[in-house]
Amino acid sequence: MSDQSPTQNPEAVAALFKAYDVRGVVPDELTPEILYKIGRALVVHLKPDQVAVGRDMRVSGPSLAGALIDGIRDQGADAVDLGLVSTDALYFAVGKYGYPAGAMLTASHNPGQYNGLKLCREQAQAVSLEHGFGEIRDLVVKGDFADPADGRRGDLIERDILDDYAAHCLSLIETAAVRPLKIAIDAGNGMAGETVPRVFRHLPCEIVPLYFELDGTFPNHEANPIEPENIADLQRVVVEQGCDFGAAFDGDADRVFLVDERGRFVGGDMTTAMVAVKMLARNPGAAIVYNLICSRSVPETIERRGGRPIRTRVGHSYIKATMRQEDAVFGGEHSGHFYFRDNWYADSGLIALLTVLELVSEANRPLSEVLAPLDTRVRSGEINSEVKDPAATVTAVEREMVAQGAEIDHLDGLTAQFSDRWFNLRASNTQPLLRLNVEADDQATLDRTTAEILGMVRGDSGAETGG
C-alpha cells in the first residue's frame, strides 16, 4: 500500500471519478484538498462566471463544501452557496436561475463515511465522463492551476432556494385534485426531511414522518431504499397506521420508492408506469422514455394510453440525452430515478411522488388497485454474480439463447426475449460482475428461467454478490 496521501497519489485521485460523479470515503480517499482542486478544475474547464453549490447532511459536508467553494472562488468565479439542499433542488436552481454550472456535495445512498460530488452544466445538463468529467479529472490529477488573468477572486453569495423549489414542484401537478390522504414518508435522515415539509405544508395530506431529522450518520438505517431491510420500518408503519401508501427517499432525495397500502414494495418500473399514465393524460401522444430493465408492462401502458414509448440504455446520461432528442415529457428507471421535461429533464423523486399522489387522488381507489391493471407480470429483481470472464460468459449465454429461438439485442448488454419471458444480462462498469434481470408472465416461468440463466452464468464457481 502506498504511503502517499490521497491528494498526492494520482491513481487514487483519478479512481474517485466514476461515470457520473465523484465518490469516496472521507478522509481516507476524499479530502478537502481534492475538493479544492475540483473547484478550480471545474472553473477552468466549464468557464462559468458563477457556480451553484449545494450539499446534503453528511458530517463531512461543511468542510468539503468550504474547500470546493474556495477553489471555485480562487479560480475567479462566484460561488452561490445554496446550503443544505436535495440534489434535485440543486438541479432546479441551475435551471431556474440560469446558473452556468452546479455542484452537489453528496454520496447519495452510500453509508455515512462516504461523500462525493455531482456536477452539472447550464440547464441542469449532467457532466459525465462523456461530457467533460474526464477533462476535469485530468486537471485535478495534474493539479497545476494558473491564477485568473484579471487576478479577481470570486464572490461568495448565499441563497435560500427551497421555498421556490417547493413552489416549482407543486406547479407540476393539479394541487386542487389532491385528496386528504395519509402518507408515511421515510426520509432516512436524509434531505427529504428538509424538502418534503416545504411541499406538503401546501397540501391537505397527513404525513406520518419517519426519520426526518437530518443526520449524516444514518442512525436508523442506510438511506438506500432499494434494499429491503431499509424500507421495513416504512412497510410496518403504513400497515399499522392505516396509511394510503408510503414513500422512501435516498440520502440526497433524488430517488424515491413507494409501498402500497398493504405495505408491499412497488418497483421503480411500476412507478414509471403510473407516472406515465398521468403525464399522458396531461400531454396526449407524448414520448416517454424508459430503460430496458423496466417491465414490458411499461411500454404497453404507454402505448395503451396513446403515448410513444422509447427504450434506452440504463443510466441517467442516456435517459436525459434521449429525452432531449425526442422531446419526451417523462423518463423513468427501475432504480427509482424519474425525469421530467418541465424540470429541465432532470430527475426528481419528489415530483414523481406528487404525480402518483395526484393519480391516486383522482382515481379515489387504493394504490394497489390503481397499480393492478398495470402490474401483470413477475420479476426477479437485479441479481449480481461474480464471474472471471464476463464477456465470455455473456457470449456463451447468447449462443444458447439463439439456439432456443430468442429475439436478441445488444442495446445494453444482452437482452433475450421470448413470448412469455425476457432477461437482460449486462456487465458492471466497475466490478467483475454480471447483473441479471428476468421478467416472466408467471412465477413458474420466472423461477425456471432465472435458474437456467444463473446456472450458465455461475457454473460451479460463480458466487452471488447481492440480489
Task: List, by residue number, the catalytic residues.
Answer: 108
**Is-contact 13 33, C-beta < 8 A?**
no
Collect contacts of 299-308 with beta carbons under 8 A, ≥24 apart: 301/273, 301/276, 301/277, 301/374, 302/273, 302/276, 305/276, 305/277, 305/280, 305/281, 306/280, 307/276, 307/279, 307/280
Cell numbers placing 337? 430515478
Q: How many angstroms separate the Cα of 254 from the Cα of each of 21, 191, 251, 346?
A: 14, 9, 8, 10
DSSP lists the bridge partners of residue 70 as none
**Hey, how many other C-beta atoms are within 10 angstroms of the C-beta on 284?**
9
Helix (H, G, I), strand (E, B) or coil at 433: strand
**Is-contact 288 329, C-beta < 8 A?**
yes
Single-letter amino acid code for the residue at 399:
R
Examine residue 219 and say whether the peptide bond preceding it is cis (omega within 30 degrees of 0): no
Cell numbers placing 231? 424500507
Place of cell 460561488: 79
Q: How many angstroms separate the Cα of 190 from the Cα of each of 106, 151, 420?
A: 10, 39, 40
Closest among 186, 35, 195 to 109, alpha carbons compared? 186
DSSP lists the bridge partners of residue 332 as 290, 338
Helix (H, G, I), strand (E, B) or coil at 400: helix
Q: Cα separation of 65 and 117, whole Å?
A: 10
Collect contacts of 2-7 with beta carbons under 8 A, ≥24 apart: 5/31, 6/30, 6/31, 6/34, 7/31, 7/33, 7/34
Angle at the Cα of 367 from the Cα atoms of 365 and 371, rounded to 5 degrees: 105
Burial class (CB in 10 A: 0-12, 13-18, 19+), 131: middle
